[in-house]
Amino acid sequence: MLGPKLECVVSVSGIRGVIGDTLMVEQVLGLAQAFGVAIAHCERVVIGRDSRTTGPLLAQAVAAGLRAVGCEVIDIGIVPTPTVAIAVTEFGAFGGIQISASHNNSEWNALKFFNRDGRNVDQTQLDWIIECYKDPPMGRHRRWDAVGGWREDRTPLDVHLKRVLAAVDVAAIRSQRPTVMLDCVNGAGSVLAPRLLAALGCNVIAVHDRLDLPFPRDPEPTAHNVRHLGALVRAANADVGFVQDPDADRLAIVDETGRYLGEEYTLVLCAAARLSAAGPASLACTNLSTSRMLEDVAARYGARVERTKVGEANVVDGMQKHGAVIGGEGNGGIIDPRVVLGRDSHIGMALVLELLANLKAPLSEVVRTIPAYAIHKEKVAMDRKAVAAAIPGLKVAAWAKGAHSDERDGLKLSWPDRWVHLRASGTEPMSRIISEAPGMEQARELADQVRAATGALPAEH
């Protein structure tokens, strides 16, 4: 075995943990070797990272592990996660590894794996990596004269920029010259988002766009964590406020009045822009925990929605299976296959600006045309086994009578006007309860019913 038993979070969303606690450098090196053999077949691999202080350390470990098994490494530096996926296809690489724990706090870091198609590895490929890590094949290490090479390349950011610009009506956006407040949380979005918005003709007011500074707050772009941005948007008389997470694959939005719209609206607004252009019979894809607002917007354009298990890789699977023109999740992750087969906040920003330019209306007015629901999200101290054990009882509970049940990912109970979903997290060692109803009191009541029936306690933050 290459390193200690993995006690960190392992899922298709990445292998992540607290560095020096639940994820060790020797494990990172071993996982990179396993990826190099199982997925990259000892060929070319792209690596990137976000701005975390442990990023350079893990990048060196990843590069060493890959090179030891004969992989050629192309290091593209601090980049958004979707840029790594783009670079894989641009360089004809056999895979890519992004070193980022996404929305987790600074002490966390992770490895996100991409296959040669420029998309997240699926569950089968992840299983190959883990098996190779646990039981390394004989002869995996190369002699001194056959180790893999290493080089730097900073061009993928330019390719990423060009792909986003090619996907939207740049002239329409430029004609409006919108003022945009941008919060990059001192993360990887700092290297591309200001450039993109400037290229779209925006007046950009950027905050927290310093790679050399730590995250200024809890980096997950929730309403509580970005409550400062509303006042800044109003003070700047901005048309919109955009908030990224540290690896810039998620996007939250603040309207021109300073109201935090929430990440659920990100996909809905982007889908409106894309589906209106794609026309009737087009399709959007999202996960089981995303707001039903998406179905409302899709119906407006004669489109339909397919749902999958939670997780970027699962949504991409669904998009490819059904030929979706847009996809994503209610966490602010937008997937536009014209740019990359993965979540990308940059195409998200561009699509929202395109929608505003075409409708020639303030964002708050656009949002008012979308049927609104109340969505409640909470974290509970349950592991995957506890969730599985709770499902039979939840399905037969008196309050669940008449609900349609979906067990593809934990348990989702749905009624005509509301739903509740209990599932184990793929990014943190706990579970989530997400509910949606016509009003917040009703949404919270659904979550309360699940929590009471399972005996689950709130997860520690």
| Catalytic residue list | 102
How far apart CA 304 and CA 300 sit, in angstroms, is 10
CB 296 within 8 A of CB 372: no
Contacts of 216 (CB under 8 A, 6+ apart): 185, 186, 208
Output the CA torsion sign for 214, 216, 221, 224.
positive
Express the helix, strand and coil content of the chain in percent, nearest 5 each: 40, 25, 40
Residue whose token pair is 């979906």 = 406
- The DSSP line for 172-199 is HHHHH--EEEEE-TTSGGGGTHHHHHHH
Residue whose token pair is 């030929």 = 323
Residue whose token pair is 């976000």 = 50
CB 336 within 8 A of CB 251: no
DSSP helix/strand/coil, 23:
strand
CB 430 within 8 A of CB 459: yes
Residue whose token pair is 């409006």 = 176
